[in-house]
Amino acid sequence: MTDQQAPPSGQVPGQDPSPPEPGDPGRGRRSFLRGVVSGVAGGIVAGGAAGAAGGYAYRAGQPADPSVAANEAIVTGQLPAVPFHGRYQAGILPKPQRQTAVVSFDVTAQSRAELTALLQTITDRARFLTAGGSPQLVGVSGPPSDSGVLGPQVVPDGLTVTAGVGSTLFDDRYGLAALKPARLTPMRTFPNDNLDPAQTGGDLVIQFSAGTADTVMHALRDVARHTRGGMQVNWRMDGFSSPPRPTGTVGRNFLGFMDGISNPDVTSATEMNKLVWVQRGAAGEPPWTAGGSYFVVRLIRMLVEFWDRVDILEQENMFGRRRDTGYPLDATGIFTPPDYSNDPTGEVIPLTAHIRVANPRTTATASSRILRRGYNYDRGIDEVGNLDMGLIFTCFQQDVKRQFEAVQTRLIDEPLVDYISPFGGGYFLALPGVTGPSDYFGRALLA
Amino acid sequence: MRTTRLRATTAATAAIAVVLGSGLTACSGGPAQPANLITMTTDSCGGSWHVAGPGWHTFQIRNGNDVGGEIDLTNPATGGIYAEIAGFGPQTTTPMTIDLGSGKYAFRCLFQDADPMLGTTVTIAGHATGTPAQQGTPFNDLVQPAKAYQKYIEGGLTTLLKLVTPLDNDIQAGNLAAARRDWLPAHLQYQRLGAAYDAFGDFDDEVDGRADALGVTSPKWTGFYRLEYGLWHGQPAAELKPVAATLKSDVSRLLAGWPHQEIELIDLGLRTHEILENALQFQLSGHDDYGSGTTLATTLANVDGTRELLSVLRPVLVPRYPGLPGVYTWLDRLQAGLLKQRSGTGQWAPVSRLSTTARQQLDADCGQVLQELDPIPTSTEPRN
């Protein structure tokens, strides 16, 4: 819930080198693998060429803006495949998809070899699930290899599987202490947090995002089935992103305000290299982290009943934006940047307003910007019958301290804290991308 | 709990053995059909058919008979089954999807009240691998395991009665401290017999029923868990005496009636994973802890019960399930993890007091055992 400078759409132009044919019953698993191999070759070439244009442009195949075709694909659960292989993980830059599950795991593997096997298995499953295709046929030699919840053919439905590692993976169990990412720590507790240890941290995180909830759930179930002995779910939060209402604006959080209006420009390689990707040779970083991105997850309850009893002027002053339009309080355009130079005492946008504190839009604070990818969550009720809903705040960055923690430190005691309660989440490093069929998550860390 | 699905009668076993043993190729001829439509009739098990090559194929299989039955796609040399359509209704058409590898294929038709038929052998050239053929398990191969298991249960029930008797005596004598000591060995002995749940019928509810449906104050709630609840919730001996007496009498009746019970052959394979499915759901979760905090001991007893089933099924499993060693790897790991939670003096840690790490490890190990076990029911399903 911070506010960043950004291009209007957050659009990730992408090309989809080899869209699968989910309806083709003759498409076997092996032929699918062949398809990936050829697709990857194309991807690498495209990626190389796209280096100047961002280096990620060849991945991220989701439709960027609502269009009739995209909406149809979303409604029918038939979004095209997002290429899995690449220098960076494919689920980081694209705009939030409709559905997500953020799942934290603790590793139960008993050795480094078992940890390696675990990450290879996760990779293999992610490679298959994101491309879609026919599950392996086992005949009568066992139960079906797939849960069947997506039908006989696994549809890709825009699935992305984003994997990250937490600081606890680098304890003494697997001999990885010396390779710990320099900026990876346990999640810090901020003054107004109410962190529940049972919903905080984890050795691994996997975020599954796709067009529909069944695709997300299917992927989680599949990965869990193949990794039972190697890891256990620590905590899990399902979420969704709301469509822009009205059309052409930005999806809203459960406080009724648009969330993620401004963000760094994901189409700018320069900006991504400054803000999102861990750079090769970055101070103190082990080389294997290059191409990764620090992944902060904060589970933030929103006390919506309390919020709904707050008058609109107070609500808007807390955010610094109009609720209905998303306009900054000093502007008449949703994507018009607020101009604090004309308002030094906070007559228009209060000095304590969320957008103003989160991103003061000064040269000094420009390097603290983060790539926000939040989702709403809604999961039942609490002990007093209030609705348990809020935000899965996720953001990607190069340096947690310089970025997320700096922003969050500025936000300590902002007026909004009375209406929200961060209760869980964790800090992770989203791993570098899986570059091809023989690569796997964390290979550079473990090899 | 699963039920046996419709299969042709046991009598057919001998008949099919003759057909396969003599290597007959039945029912060749008949008019050529569209590549993917294959019709089974009383005199032709699919007729002649062909495919362009290896890979995924979906056959539309038509049962042209007026009776139901089962169609298997087999390797005629080994009798291994690639795919099957069971419960195949008369005059219906059903798809059969298979990844055909290089090798020999023939349909086998098992229609009600008819001898098994083997169709034309079709050879697919090359070196492609496809859906594996599973060697079926003839009824006869399961008879010895079932007998061995029957014997194990009979011995187990005899031991159970020996352990329930002092428990009952303790309670009748008002010595509840002794009863709390004697309760666990008796309960674990019952839990080691887990595979026989179905065969025990209503006795299981009486001997080891949970309070869920009844509530802990219900007089209808009887058995080990009822006693556990009373013994660990300060209930007086007078209240527990009738419960203990009923338990002992139920176990006696169970033992007396056992020789007349029959174990369904299909249950042997099913129970290999169902015992630990229940352990994960009710014991490792702590759900079935009515006060003694011994659900990890119960899980270990369930591991013992699973091992016994695997042991009697070993001759059937070894040639059919290459993953069997993996089952033991993870059973050993689960067992070692459980034993870590027993103190030097034999006290078990309640699940509720375990660290998150310890719980995750046990859940992971049990979960992986279950995954490793999951091909066993299909590979030990009795087939003609």
Between chains, do A137 and B131 touch, taking CB under 8 Å as contact? Answer: yes
Q: B interface mutation test: which of A110, A140, A221 has the most B CBs within 10 A?
A: A140
Residues B75 and B47 both lie in one domain: yes
B105 and chain A in contact, CB less than 8 A: no
Amino acid A74: pLDDT: 73
Residues B197 and B273 both lie in one domain: yes
Amino acid A4: pLDDT: 47
Between chains, do B134 and A28 touch, taking CB under 8 Å as contact? Answer: no
Kindly indicate whether the ipTM for this predicted assembly is greater than 0.90, answering yes or no.
no
B328 and chain A in contact, CB less than 8 A: no
Q: Is B5 part of any domain?
A: no
How does the average pLDDT of chain B come out, rounded? 89
Residues B275 and B366 both lie in one domain: yes
Question: What would the two tokens of residue B83 be?
Answer: 């795919």
Residues B155 and B206 both lie in one domain: yes
Chain A residues whose CB is inside 8 A of the B110 CB are none
Amino acid A200: pLDDT: 98
B19-47 mean pLDDT: 59
Residue B16, domain extent? 11-133
| pTM greater than 0.95 | no
Q: Nearest-CA neighbor of B239 among B219, B255, B212, B215?
A: B219
Q: Is B6 part of any domain?
A: no
Amino acid B383: pLDDT: 82
Q: Is B2 part of any domain?
A: no
In the three-class reduction of DSSP (H, G, I as helix; E, B as strand; rest coil), residue A208 is classed as strand
Residues B148 and B48 both lie in one domain: no
Per-residue pLDDT of chain A (447 residues; tens, 9 = 90+): 444 444 333 334 333 333 333 333 333 333 322 333 333 333 332 333 333 333 333 344 444 454 566 667 777 888 999 999 999 999 999 999 999 999 999 999 999 999 999 999 999 999 999 999 999 999 888 999 999 999 999 999 999 999 999 999 999 999 999 999 999 999 999 999 999 999 999 999 999 999 999 999 999 999 999 999 999 999 999 999 999 999 999 999 999 999 989 899 999 999 999 999 999 999 999 999 999 999 999 999 999 999 999 999 999 999 999 999 999 999 999 999 999 999 999 999 999 999 999 999 999 999 999 999 999 999 999 999 999 999 999 999 999 999 999 999 999 999 999 999 999 999 999 999 999 999 999 999 998
Nearest chain B residue to A197 by CA distance is B356
Q: Is B1 part of any domain?
A: no
Nearest chain B residue to A108 by CA distance is B361
Residue where a domain stops, chosen among B116, B133, B150: B133
Between chains, do A141 and B134 touch, taking CB under 8 Å as contact? Answer: yes
Q: Which CATH number belongs to the domain containing residue B342 in this structure?
A: 1.20.1420.20
Q: Is B4 part of any domain?
A: no
Beta carbons of B182 and B188 less than 8 angstroms apart? no
Residues B145 and B128 both lie in one domain: no
Number of domains in chain B: 2
Residues B77 and B167 both lie in one domain: no
Residues B179 and B314 both lie in one domain: yes
Give the angle subtended at the CA of A81 by the CAs of A16 and A47, to the nearest 5°.
40
Residues B211 and B288 both lie in one domain: yes
B319 and chain A in contact, CB less than 8 A: no
Beta carbons of A430 and A293 less than 8 angstroms apart? yes
- Model confidence pLDDT, tens digit, residues B231-272: 999 999 999 999 999 999 999 999 999 888 888 899 999 999
Q: Is B24 part of any domain?
A: yes
Residues B92 and B175 both lie in one domain: no
Residue where a domain stops, chosen among B71, B100, B133: B133
Q: Which CATH number belongs to the domain containing residue B65 in this structure?
A: 2.60.40
Residues B346 and B212 both lie in one domain: yes
Cis before A246 (ω within 30):
yes
Above 80 in pLDDT, residue B87? yes
Residues B214 and B129 both lie in one domain: no
Q: Is B3 part of any domain?
A: no
Q: DSSP letters of A209-278?
A: EESSHHHHHHHHHHHHHHTTTTEEEEEEEEEE-PPPSSTTS--B-TTSSB---S---TT-HHHHHHHTSP
In total, the C-beta contacts within 8 angstroms joining chain A to chain B are 83
Chain B residues whose CB is inside 8 A of the A229 CB are 330, 333, 364-365, 367-368, 371
Q: Which of residues 126-185 of B touch A (CB under 8 A)?
A: 130-134
Between chains, do A198 and B356 touch, taking CB under 8 Å as contact? Answer: yes
Residue where a domain stops, chosen among B89, B109, B133: B133
